[in-house]
Structure 1
Amino acid sequence: MPEYKKQHYVPKFYLRFFTVEGSNKYIKLCIKESRQIIQKVDLEGQAQESYFYGKDLEREKWFGNIEDKTADVLNRVIQSRSLPKNKSVDYYWIWTFMLLQAYRTRANADEYNEMVDVSLKTVMRFEQQFANFEFDKHFFAYDDAIEKSLSILLKSLPIMMDMQIKLLENRTSKELITSDNPISKYNQFLEFRKFPYSHTGIASKGLQVFYPIAPDLMLVMYDPKVYKIGNKKQFSNILMNEEDVKNLNRLTSLHANKTLYSTDNVSDFQFEQILEGSNKFEAQRKLKTRQFNPVPIDGNTESIVVQNYRTPYMIKLNLSFVKQTQHAKSYQLSGYYAELRDERYRNPENRPTF
């Protein structure tokens, strides 16, 4: 097999944190759709596709360099059960790796192309030349959707600099699971406010990002203006209870694309419970289109604004370690179709340039 042909969108070093006892090569797998459970599968074939990032190997090698550094940092986190010093170089390796993981998977590529397809067809429907076009028989997509998605993320990283990371610890009898799309995004703040549009955009106020890194450890990235997690100087040893673990495993299941992973300490019955708990929410997340009234530009031209947004999962998430800040409690929603962490970005003149 050619070198670098198998390109993993969830790194093997990460999946090793969940391998079955006595092995660093095998992991337990649950297929989401069929609920088939396989007790031991080789890591080599998991969360990968042939030339997923392209045959030129440029992006694959770029990820490889980042993974080499981050693997060392995360191994130290797991061994010490503590985060690197806040805003240190190692801290930002974790910060960067979490965000990249959220935008490098098959699930993200499929979501990006769904947005492309819906957006293009929405525009085409306004053109008379496509009046007889059979939209249902065509799907518009980029072959390099991941590259385009990552490009947007990398240009947007400055918007994420205000997000804080802390380390949660699971000392319960139940283990955390992971998946082929291991980052879960949520927004308890906007859920509580019953905000009807997108909750988990890069700039969303109240954004939360969860990333299990071991059966007993999870990273959380969050909006510190909205949430209190531990005290100001406490970045590690923040305990989860059993209900927290159940809810976070449910989120992992919802965000999974096709497969869930765990150690062999997670029973088949526990997987069935996790899937049973998440299935009733699966239909919540949909791509929706909102069209605004045409605005005349001149006698022959109108401008039509169309907003595409993805409805969020809303599972009435309640986490014992999360409290809302006084700012969040007193905050009045802006009335815009996106609720932003930094209100300056509502004004186009103040939006950052990259």
Structure 2
Amino acid sequence: MAEKKKHIPKNQHFVPQFFQRFFSYENDGKTIGMFNTQLDRFINQVPISSQLSSDYFYGRDGNLENWLSKHESDSAPIFREMWEKEKLPINQSPDHFKMLHFMVVLDLRNPIHFKILNNFEKKLPKTKSKISEGNVSGNMVSGLKEHQTDQGKLNSLKSAEQIVSDLLNLEYKLIKNTTSNPFIISDNPIILYNQFFEKRNWKFCSQRDFGLKGFQMFLPLNDSYMLAVYDSNIYKLGTKKQKIVAIDDKNSIDQLNLLQFLNSETTINFNHKASQYYIETLYQKSKKFKKANDTSINVHKMNFPKGYDNHTAQMIEMGVSDLNIKLKIQKLNFISKSSAVKLKSIDNQYRKNVKYKGHVHVVYKLVPIIEK
């Protein structure tokens, strides 16, 4: 007897439904508040089943959808315990790895990630060379196309485990929101920030690669809790012994919520504690800042060392716009020794022993060209 084929859902969520339920309206587990920034439309309750999803976004064969389903089942209890019991995974434990793995996958699985690749694919053939007539080589386009296929998406998400090994030495704590302004999420809820690079005005490549010095991740868990992961060689959050850091400053909460608008594509979500006035006020504030995830390609001419007479190469830097709002959060401060950290080169911008470099930006050196 032939094995019955498993039904593959048409409506596939890129922000897991279990995660959206943490923000459900009056904790009903079924509906959530929604604000559409394109339509300027506020709705108190919409079905979670219809939110933050797209038809067959992860394919029709079920391979990636099934992989994500198991990944979510493994992750959900860990994140629920954070806000229900104020319990964080033990450092270097399997749950610590799963926590970080979920955060990386949440970033890599988002439609914005694949939109960025698609924009690079379109822009690259039109990019002018710095050292020869015409445009740069288009031999990288096939690789960008491959990452956008169903198999490419699956391979990309499976590679997230490699990135996690670079994050295990980062500090992580819970921010407890004790104000009346609730945390909110968006269609791209994982915030990648770097106050250190922002302060240094470091412009070369993206400020948000997972392996960079000063790297930070902020993930709201419900209206009252946010998970913060950060480079403890650069920052301190609360006291050394605190794992739960209470914040009673509304401006700090508003800044963290503002990042959701700037990191989003079109949709903001929230529970019953967020008023229409509050959401619309944040939206108006967000218009003063540049949104994240806009693509750019820069070509740099490079001269070879002595012994390579008349040889030059070009380096193609493909990057995205960062979140930069001069973020300042109560109880999150630079440690004193961070001021002595040097930034002199591309390699120097990464933390020690980082293996995976180039998540948000992609840098290529082309074959040397002899100038005529």
Deviations 1:88-143 (A, max 9, x none): 22232222111111111111221222233334543899887979x9xxxxx97834
Q: Which moved more, 1:307-316 or 1:23-32?
A: 307-316
CA distance in 2, matches of 1:51, 1:14: 20
After the TM superposition, which residues 121-136 of structure 1 pair with which residues of structure 2 at under 5 Å, given as runs? 121-122=126-127
Amino acid across the alignment from 2:298: R
CA distance in 2, matches of 1:147, 1:153: 10
Amino acid across the alignment from 1:231: T
Whether the 8 Å contact between 1:81 and 1:237 is mirrored in structure 2 is no
Match of 2:80 among 75, 84, 93: 75
Whether the 8 Å contact between 1:294 and 1:302 is mirrored in structure 2 is yes
CA distance in 2, matches of 1:340, 1:37: 41
CA distance in 2, matches of 1:326, 1:225: 10
Shift of 1:225: 0.8
What is residue 59 of structure 1 aligned with on the other side? 64
TM-score (norm 1): 0.86
Structure 1, unpaired ranges of 5+:
134-138, 348-354
Whether the 8 Å contact between 2:170 and 2:229 is mirrored in structure 1 is yes
What is residue 272 of structure 1 aligned with on the other side? 280
Match of 2:38 among 28, 33, 38: 33
Are 1:177 and 2:192 an aligned pair? no
Q: Which moved more, 1:219-228 or 1:320-329?
A: 320-329
CA distance in 1, matches of 2:354, 2:52: 39
Shift of 1:218: 0.3
CA distance in 2, matches of 1:295, 1:152: 34
What is residue 328 of structure 2 aligned with on the other side? 318
What is residue 89 of structure 1 aligned with on the other side? 94
What is residue 263 of structure 2 aligned with on the other side? 255
Are 1:304 and 2:311 an aligned pair? no
Whether the 8 Å contact between 1:95 and 1:165 is mirrored in structure 2 is no
Shift of 1:2: 4.6
What is residue 186 of structure 1 aligned with on the other side? 193
CA distance in 2, matches of 1:32, 1:222: 29
CA distance in 1, matches of 2:354, 2:273: 48
Whether the 8 Å contact between 1:174 and 1:266 is mirrored in structure 2 is yes
Amino acid across the alignment from 1:172: T
- Shift of the 75–284 alpha-carbon distance from structure 1 to 2, 3 Å rule, reads closer
Amino acid across the alignment from 1:291: V
| Local SS of the residue matching 2:330 | coil
Whether the 8 Å contact between 2:297 and 2:319 is mirrored in structure 1 is yes
CA distance in 1, matches of 2:58, 2:300: 37
- Shift of the 260–140 alpha-carbon distance from structure 1 to 2, 3 Å rule, reads same
Are 1:156 and 2:163 an aligned pair? yes
Shift of 1:166: 1.0
Whether the 8 Å contact between 1:176 and 1:216 is mirrored in structure 2 is yes
TM-score (norm 2): 0.82
What is residue 360 of structure 2 aligned with on the other side? none
Are 1:110 and 2:144 an aligned pair? no
- Shift of the 130–112 alpha-carbon distance from structure 1 to 2, 3 Å rule, reads closer
What is residue 342 of structure 1 aligned with on the other side? 352
Shift of 1:163: 2.0
What is residue 350 of structure 1 aligned with on the other side? none
- Shift of the 22–236 alpha-carbon distance from structure 1 to 2, 3 Å rule, reads closer
CA distance in 2, matches of 1:32, 1:76: 32
Are 1:47 and 2:67 an aligned pair? no
Amino acid across the alignment from 2:46: V
| Local SS of the residue matching 2:338 | helix
Amino acid across the alignment from 2:75: T
What is residue 213 of structure 2 aligned with on the other side? 205
CA distance in 2, matches of 1:346, 1:87: 19
CA distance in 1, matches of 2:170, 2:187: 24
- Shift of the 238–171 alpha-carbon distance from structure 1 to 2, 3 Å rule, reads closer
Which contiguous aligned blocks of 4+ residues in structure 1 show a shift greater than 6 angstroms?
A: 123-131, 296-301, 343-347
What is residue 232 of structure 1 aligned with on the other side? 240
CA distance in 2, matches of 1:26, 1:101: 21
Whether the 8 Å contact between 2:184 and 2:268 is mirrored in structure 1 is yes
Whether the 8 Å contact between 1:340 and 1:346 is mirrored in structure 2 is no
Whether the 8 Å contact between 2:116 and 2:294 is mirrored in structure 1 is no
- Shift of the 189–225 alpha-carbon distance from structure 1 to 2, 3 Å rule, reads same
Would you tell me which structure has more helix in proportion to its own residues? 1
Q: Which moved more, 1:99-108 or 1:150-159?
A: 150-159
- Shift of the 140–82 alpha-carbon distance from structure 1 to 2, 3 Å rule, reads closer
- Shift of the 58–346 alpha-carbon distance from structure 1 to 2, 3 Å rule, reads closer
Shift of 1:147: 3.7
CA distance in 1, matches of 2:342, 2:131: 37
Shift of 1:12: 0.5
Structure 2, unpaired ranges of 5+:
1-5, 139-143, 358-372
Whether the 8 Å contact between 2:211 and 2:356 is mirrored in structure 1 is no
